Structure 1
Amino acid sequence: MEGLIRFLFIAIGILYIVRAIMRWLIPMLFQSVVNKAQQQHQQQQTNYNSSQKQPTGRIKVDYVPEDRKKGKFPDSEGEFVDYEEVK
């Protein structure tokens, strides 16, 4: 019986110590993960902004589909209908 009581006291003591340590350790771990994510986001944002510098007022077209070059439009585009707005 003494062994069981001794085991319970030791187990409760260890759980209490682990719980106290986790109160300090887990927030520090989460903070470091959040800081890393923020740094990566800032680095990606600066890389994106530096690569997107183009003179204003100019348009650059990278890709034009073949059917657009020939003037043919697929049937899924629909038809243009003239209308007058009635007031």
Structure 2
Amino acid sequence: MLLKVLIIIICILYIVRYLFKLLLPAIFRSVINNAQQNAAQQQNYQQPKRPEGRIKVDYIPEGQKSKVPDTEGDFVDYEEIK
């Protein structure tokens, strides 16, 4: 009787192990594909399409408008000393 139960338990364990070996990769693949599709959808919602090379400024605060006049200052070249 005990030997019969032990053999049945071992057979069940081997069957479960075989099923996991077959089904687990498929389950992981489907979970990963769903996560990739969700990430792609979120990225499409977050980045609206606009023409490349164009910049649009919607708002400039009052205090941030050009503090230095355009006539002031020039660009000065410099050399890096090592």
- TM-score tier, shorter chain, comes to 0.5 to 0.7
| TM-score after normalising by structure 2 | 0.63
Match for residue 44 of structure 1?
Answer: 42
How far apart are 1:61 and its partner, in Å?
3.5
Give identity over the alignment, percent.
Answer: 35
5+ residue gaps, structure 2: 64-80
Normalization by structure 1: what TM-score? 0.60
Once residues 57 and 35 of structure 1 are traced to their aligned partners in structure 2, the CA distance between those partners, rounded to angstroms, is 35
| Structure 2 counterpart of 1:17, from 12, 15, 18 | 15
Q: Which runs of 4+ in 1 moved over 6 A?
A: none
Question: Does 1:53 find its partner at 2:26?
Answer: no
The correspondence of residues 1-12 of structure 1 with structure 2, limited to 5 A, is 3-12=1-10
Question: Structure 1: any 5+ residue segments left out of the alignment?
Answer: 70-86
The RMSD of aligned alpha carbons is 2.9
**Superimposed CA distance per residue, residues 18-73 of structure 1 (whole angstroms, 9 cap, x where no aligned partner):** 000000111111111100001111111122223x53781322348x5xxx84xxxx
Cα distance between partner residues in 1 of 2:50 and 2:39: 19
Greater relative contact order (CA < 8 Å, ≥ 6 in sequence): 1
